[in-house]
């Protein structure tokens, strides 16, 4: 009974960590530009696919993983430079369509380049499961959770203790005021997309040994990351992490106890309930509008 619950919990937290990284990516971009980046899921896909490509090309695992995280960051920067910066101040719906266009281009290019097949990546430190209170835990899950925890801690330090991090926070609160005290807000936008690309890709790299990957996994992962960001309170970093874990755990529990066929519906039922009863999210601030 407990063992089964733990088993669901482990797999939920593992997947949830990926959602949390994606949700953090959403949050970074949303804070810097109020763009909801529907290409976020493609960064996750790119991370996994590139890791597979580079390891199969014979690169040592650490180098392959590093490249698989850095290249999507570059893609993020390209999206920002080519598609978001030229349309500053466009209505939300136009920005949404631009990011969806970008996601189609990324997905399409990956499909042309690497094909439609499903790929796997070897686990970083073996497949022998660890036993814990009657449940089993894959070593890869520990990698996912450990690296995610490190990244979250590093981001927290970055935003609270470095000048650049504080400048990014200031921009998210009030872009004009930040500009007036000398923050280069254009660079903040640039950096947000780079970090967002890297975060998404990192999630993809870490989880691929467990979940497999193909050119089209980005849509669902991205949408669930978006749900996580909204559940946590759009714009709140800690909320994004909590939201990601919550979405992952609820999905795993739902799949285990209720119905595995409806597993994918759970995050979306959750977002509807949140919007009805707690629209500001778990940790989101209440907004008041000035006229």
- Contacts with another protein by CB under 8 A lie at 36, 83, 86-87, 90-94, 96-98, 100-109, 111-112, 219, 223, 226-227, 230, 261-262, 264-265, 268-269, 271-272, 275-276, 279, 287, 289, 291
CB of 139 to another protein, least distance (A): 32
Q: What whole-number distance in Å separates Cα of residue 142 and Cα of residue 134?
A: 17
CB of 136 to another protein, least distance (A): 29
Whose Cβ is closer to another protein: residue 141's or residue 214's? 214
CB of 125 to another protein, least distance (A): 35
38 in Cβ contact with 222 (< 8 Å): yes
Whose Cβ is closer to another protein: residue 209's or residue 233's? 233
In eight-state DSSP terms, residue 132 is E
Whose Cβ is closer to another protein: residue 180's or residue 291's? 291
Whose Cβ is closer to another protein: residue 10's or residue 53's? 53
Burial of 78 (0-12, 13-18, 19+ CB in 10 A): middle
Whose Cβ is closer to another protein: residue 58's or residue 91's? 91
**Cβ contacts of 75 within 8 Å, gap of 6 or more:** 43, 46, 106, 197
The secondary element (H helix, E strand) that includes residue 137 is: strand 135-137
CB of 9 to another protein, least distance (A): 24
Cα angle: 36, vertex 66, 34; to 5 degrees: 10
Q: How many residues make up the chain in this entry?
A: 291
240 in Cβ contact with 26 (< 8 Å): yes
CB of 287 to another protein, least distance (A): 8
């Amino acid at each position: 009974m407990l063992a089964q619950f733990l088993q669901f919990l482990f797999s939920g937290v593992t997947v949830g960590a990926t959602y949390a990284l994606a949700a953090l990516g959403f949050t970074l971009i949303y804070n810097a530009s109020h763009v909801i980046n529907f290409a976020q899921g493609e960064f996750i896909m790119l991370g996994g696919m590139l890791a597979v490509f580079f390891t199969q090309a014979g690169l040592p695992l650490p180098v392959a993983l590093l490249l698989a995280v850095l290249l999507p960051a570059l893609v993020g920067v390209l999206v920002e430079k080519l598609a978001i910066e030229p349309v500053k101040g466009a209505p939300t719906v136009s920005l949404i369509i631009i990011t969806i266009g970008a996601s189609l281009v990324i997905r399409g290019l990956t499909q042309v380049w690497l094909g439609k097949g499903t790929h796997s990546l070897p686990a970083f430190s073996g497949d022998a499961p660890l036993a814990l209170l009657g449940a089993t835990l894959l070593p890869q899950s520990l990698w996912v959770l450990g690296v995610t925890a490190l990244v979250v801690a590093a981001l927290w330090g970055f935003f609270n203790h470095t000048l650049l991090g504080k400048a990014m926070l200031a921009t998210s609160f009030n872009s004009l005021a930040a500009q007036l005290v000398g923050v280069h807000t254009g660079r903040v936008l640039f950096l947000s997309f780079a970090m967002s690309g890297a975060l998404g890709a990192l999630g993809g790299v870490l989880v691929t040994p467990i979940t497999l990957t193909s050119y089209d996994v980005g849509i669902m992962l991205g949408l669930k990351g978006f749900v996580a960001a909204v559940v946590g309170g759009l714009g709140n970093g800690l909320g994004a992490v909590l939201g990601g874990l919550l979405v992952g755990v609820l999905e795993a529990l739902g799949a285990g106890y209720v119905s595995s066929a409806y597993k994918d519906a759970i995050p979306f039922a959750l977002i509807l309930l949140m919007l009805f009863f707690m629209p500001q999210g778990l940790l989101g601030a209440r907004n008041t509008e000035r006229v």
